[in-house]
Structure 1
Amino acid sequence: MSADRISLTGLRVAACHGVLEHEKTEPQPFVADVLLEIDLRAAGDSDDLARTVSYADVAQETEAILAGPPVDLVETLAERVAAAALRHDPVEAVEVTIHKPKAPAGVTFEPGGGPAVTVRREQDREVVIALGANLGRREHTLLAALGALQALPGLDVVAVSEPFSTAPVGGPEQPDFLNAVAVGRTRLAPWTLLRELHRIEARHGRVRETRWGARTLDLDLIQVGVPGQASEVRSDRADLTLPHPRAHERAFVLAPWAQADPDALLRVDGQVLPVAQVLDGLGEQDVRPGPGWPR
């Protein structure tokens, strides 16, 4: 759970929401408080608005929902505001409180009091992570990396392929790789998750000296969200490209991915295709069943 937060409090709109008939025609005040949970380290380091969320955008979206067509329940307003906030990729979770200070409850509230509804909702997106190693005790390294992924707060690993033995693609002469794919669900922003993958790599002695060279551990963020659905995250930034730009060319990614998730989809040149179909279209590549996970 991120300890960083952006809060918008006291956003007041006169609107016609409520169960009673007169509430649908006589405006009354509604007040929204929106608390966004978001990892702000990247924004603080880079001074880049793209690494955070525009609170002006969230405020205007919230105002539009409160001022929109009448609904019966304050709970409905809270859910719609929360859903709108979670559509901003960096937001990991949101807490929304909608106050209805003039609600016809048949009792007297102190000034500033009155009914309020609070909901908390978390981001929940599918994520695909590829693992590889061709130096040292490869099976044990991949197994340790999987353990680190499973222990990462905000990431739930739901399926893991068996290891595959694969010939290296590009780069200098080097040993064969062991590759696997983990499929999970996450509340983390993509660059937060990528930073954690790099941290796990570093703990296992990964160094970035030779492109496509031998390595003790390689963790690649392949895809976040489901292609063609609202959850899909697409990015063409130099430090974060999603989906992974070469995944569709690599049998050592696609073969374990298709095993871990036979129904998986991948975006390829603007099309959304089954991973198994993309794999079939690659032709012969040196990808073989591996030794299995250490017991």
Structure 2
Amino acid sequence: MNTAGCTDRITLTGIAVTTPHGVLDHEKREPQRFFVDVVIECDLSGAGHSDDLGATISYAEVAQDVERIMTQPPVDLIETLAEQVAASVLQRPAAEAVEVTVHKPDAPAGVRFSDIGLSGPSVTIRREQHRPVAIALGANLGDRVATLRSAVRSLDRLPGLELIAVSRLFETDPVGGPEQPDYLNAVAVGSTRLAPWTLLERLHEIEAGRGRTREIRWGARTLDLDLLQVGDPAAGTDLRFDTPELTLPHPRAAARAFVLAPWADADPAATLSVGGAAVPVHDLLDSSDRSGIRPGPDWSPL
């Protein structure tokens, strides 16, 4: 995986809070000054083009969360506060990574610090987003195996995406649309730091690079990449969207055996959110019509 990070940043510097935290008893009773810096890595291109707050991260909300965390009942370590701030930021879908610095300029360290700036002890941590992700692949035009292998290798090189497993190939009858050749289908599972809309845009770029066009709905295609799910429904961390551009989880995945069969093959423990409940993909596959699915050719995708 290419681990290059996003170059866009949202920076909040010097969030000031006076509150009691520290190892010593008097530090838990007597409020002290704390300053918090937060640097959020995220893709801001969508917000820049659309002027839509939903495509970015509200720095006002982040600042309010920092203040809430810092004014909680006292803890011993500023490391604990930094971890809690980082975890709060990474709950936001657009956040790819975050760096948090907590300054404690008046800490009783037994030495004198300069009076200039934010002198004194501080802790800086950096945490990256790691969300489970499932991506469906399909092709029914041209050299299907070569196209799918090329697509998997492009996914594996995609910055911010780490592939963990890729299913075997399944050959499937076309569902809906005009008369067309049979498909080869697979599912790749992994972990991503990318915002869902950013990942979807990257999938579309990979499709376009293999000659994908979108002229006929459910028509034949050289390559189809569908974002099935981001997050883990079993842990309650799956992301849910319902916009013209993106719907998560994929609205038809639970009823498509040609998706469920390779998904269960790639990740036997996978679950999908159906009606608000986390349902094992294996159970959905067992109750589906698999008459149009058969083993595909052997392949080595990676």
TM-score with structure 1 setting the length: 0.98
SS in 2 for 1:209: coil
Corresponding letter in the other structure for 2:32: Q
Equivalence map 1:66-81=2 (5 Å): 66-81=70-85
In the TM superposition, 1:25-44 aligns within 5 A as 25-44=29-48
Which range moved further: 103-112 or 34-43?
103-112
Aligned match of 2:66: 62
Structure 1 residue 121 corresponds to structure 2 residue 139: no
Instruction: Check conservation: 1:8, 1:55, Cα contact below 8 A.
Output: yes
Structure 1, unmatched stretches of 5+, are none
**Partner of residue 99, structure 2:** 95
Pair 1:83-2:83 in alignment: no
* CA distances 1:164-208 after superposition (whole Å, capped 9, x unpaired): 000000000000000000000010100110000000000000000
Residues 96 and 193, structure 2, Cα contact 8 Å, conserved in 1 = yes
1:144 alignment partner in structure 2: 150
Indicate the residue corresponding to 1:17 in structure 2: 21
The alpha carbon displacement at 1:230 in A equals: 4.2
2:234·2:271 contact (CA, 8 Å) conserved in 1?
Answer: no
Match of 1:200 in 2: 206
Inter-partner Cα distance in structure 2 for 1:239 and 1:278:
26
Structural mapping, 1:241-280, within 5 Å: 241-280=247-286
Shift of 1:231: 2.4
Structure 2 distance, partners of 1:27, 1:260, is: 53
- Report sequence identity in percent: 62
Paired letter, 2:202: E
Deviation of 1:269 after TM superposition, in Å, equals 2.1
Q: CA deviation at 1:228?
A: 4.3
**Preserved CA contact (<8 Å) 2:22 2:28:** yes
1:88 is matched by which residue type in structure 2? Answer: R
One-letter amino acid of the structure 1 residue matched with residue 155 of structure 2: L
Deviations 1:200-243 (A, max 9, x none): 00000000000000000000000000014242100011101000
Listed as ranges, the gaps of 5+ residues in structure 2 are none
Q: Match for residue 178 of structure 1?
A: 184
1-structure distance, mates of 2:225, 2:160: 17
Which of residues 210, 232, 237 is equivalent to 2:243? Answer: 237
Question: Which residue, 158, 161, 172 being the options, matches 1:166?
Answer: 172
Amino acid in structure 2 at the alignment position of 1:177: Y
Q: Structure 1 49/228 Cα, relative in aligned 2: closer, same or farther at 3 Å?
A: farther
Displacement of 1:110 after TM fit? Answer: 1.0
- Which string of whole-angstrom CA distances, capped at 9 and with x for unpartnered residues, describes residues 238-285 of structure 1? 101000000011111000000111111011122211101001111343
Looking at structure 2, the residues matched to 231 and 98 of structure 1 have their Cα atoms a distance apart, in angstroms, of 27
Task: State how many pairs are aligned.
Answer: 295
Matched to 1:12, the amino acid is: A
Q: Describe the shift of the 1:128–1:258 C-alpha distance in structure 2 as closer, same or farther (beyond 3 A).
A: same
> Cα RMSD over matched residues?
1.0
Instruction: Find runs of 4+ consecutive structure 1 residues off by over 2 angstroms.
Output: 228-231
Report the Cα distance in structure 1 between the residues aligned to 2:236 and 2:199, rounded to whole angstroms. Answer: 19
Identify which of 105, 110, 118 aligns with 2:109. 105
What is the rounded CA distance, in whole Å, between the counterparts of 1:251 and 1:283 in structure 2?
Answer: 7
Shift of 1:293: 1.1
Q: Distance in 2 between matches of 1:12 and 1:270?
A: 40
C-alpha contact (below 8 Å) 1:251/1:285 kept by paired residues: no
When the two structures are superposed, what TM-score results if normalisation uses the length of structure 2?
A: 0.96
